[in-house]
Amino acid sequence: MLNMSVADCRKRLFSLIKTQAFFKGDFTLSSGKKSNYYLDARLVTLSAEGAFLCGKLMRELVADRKPTAIGGPTLGADPMVGAIGAVSFLEQQPVKTFIIRKEAKGHGKGRMVEGPELTPADRIIVIDDVATTGKAFIHSIEALAQDGLKPVACVCIIDRQDGAREAVAARGVELISIFTATEFLKD
């Protein structure tokens, strides 16, 4: 599995999402918008194979940016952060990993960003599972900014193409996705 090509990883991840995490019906998204389909990526990212494939593909997507730290908002990023940390270690190119809380802890250091200490010298990538309006990415960018940090890119498994790319770009950060929702809507 470690030696799977990027194309094979992408094909397998697409198949897992399409068969296990793509649903048609009437749904209300976290943004409050209505949709006739739902992509529940956690059904895949919380599986061993799905987490591995996401970790491998996300690292590949940002390799040219030479990341030193990769993390994102809880809960969407949690399983992928662990996978990326493990994959980076196995590839002998370990990166720092972190999780961004929804709100600062009310005890201890009161941190929003959990994990090893990040510095302005770090090349930070923010990840999430599905991007719709970009709300979780914006929250992450703002949480990092409170510590004087700015990501070099944001990466998601699926861009629903509903404003996230533009919202993130308005903060001076590029959004990269493995897939777009359009790919799953084709029959």
Q: What pLDDT does 87 receive? A: 92
pLDDT score at 146: 94
Specify the number of domains making up the chain.
1
Q: Which CATH number characterizes residue 18's domain?
A: 3.40.50.2020
pTM of the model: 0.95
d(CA 113, CA 182): 33
129 is a domain residue: yes
pLDDT of residue 48: 95
- Positions in the chain whose pLDDT score sits under 50: none
Q: What is the pLDDT of residue 173?
A: 98
Q: Which domain holds residue 60?
A: 6-185
**Within-domain flag for 111:** yes
Specify the pLDDT at position 104.
80
Q: Look at residue 1 and tell me if it is in a domain.
A: no
Maximal CA-CA distance, the chain: 51
Each residue's pLDDT tens digit, 17-46: 999 999 999 999 888 889 999 999 999 999
Residue 40 lies in a domain: yes
